[in-house]
Amino acid sequence: MQNILEVKNLTVSFNNEKATDNLSFNLKKGENLVIVGPNGAGKTVLLRALIGMIPFTGEIKWEKDIKIGYVPQKILPEKNIPLSIEEFFKFKKFALEQTRKALQLVGINDLSILKKKIGVISSGQLQRILIAWSLIDDPEILLFDEPMAGIDIEGVWL
């Protein structure tokens, strides 16, 4: 089976301190990879390097034209941000029906949430919104950076 991701000798440094050092691995279609470690171990750094958000040395090679969904560890929106959840989803240019399906996948069935401002919903609701946002494009790869942070215990088991 063909690799969808190849990482060779990946090193990420900040101010001469290595966050990852000479990391190599492959991922094949259908495989799952879980990265576990204590705070500060470099999990977020690895994910950000994989999507090209930060500079690195080594090689990261994704399968050509692969669609990636990414859920960041945490976003702290300004409380007064004038952006509704509906407007946030419109950036993806999908129909309301597709947005509704993505929201249902994360346990949000009440579409009135779409009218709420993104800065006033709870952190757990925001995390679910971010997961739905990552799913709406039907990605082939999902990168989750602590996706259950702030979600209630019932929501974790959806």
User: What's the total number of domains in the chain?
Assistant: 2
| Portion of the chain with pLDDT greater than 70, in percent | 92
CA-angle at 20, arms to 16 and 26, nearest 5°: 150
- 157 and 81 co-located in one domain: yes
- Which domain-ending residue is among 66, 95, 120? 66
pLDDT at 151: 56
Both 61 and 78 in one domain: the answer is no
- Across the chain, which has 158 residues, the per-10-residue mean pLDDT values are 92 91 93 86 92 95 93 77 90 88 92 92 87 91 76 52
H or E element at residue 105: helix 96-105
61 with 115, same domain: the answer is: no
Strand ranges in the chain using DSSP code E only, listed in sequence order: 3-14, 17-28, 57-62, 68-71, 141-144
Given 19, 49, 66, the domain boundary residue is 66
Looking at the structure, tell me whether residues 58 and 21 fall in a common domain.
Answer: yes
Please tell me the predicted confidence (pLDDT) of residue 60: 97
pLDDT at residue number 148: 62
Single out the residue of 143, 133, 136 nearest to residue 48, CA to CA: 143
Name the domain boundary from 33, 50, 66: 66
* Domain interval for residue 58: 3-66
pLDDT at residue 95, as a whole number? 85
Q: Which two tokens stand for residue 1?
A: 């089976």
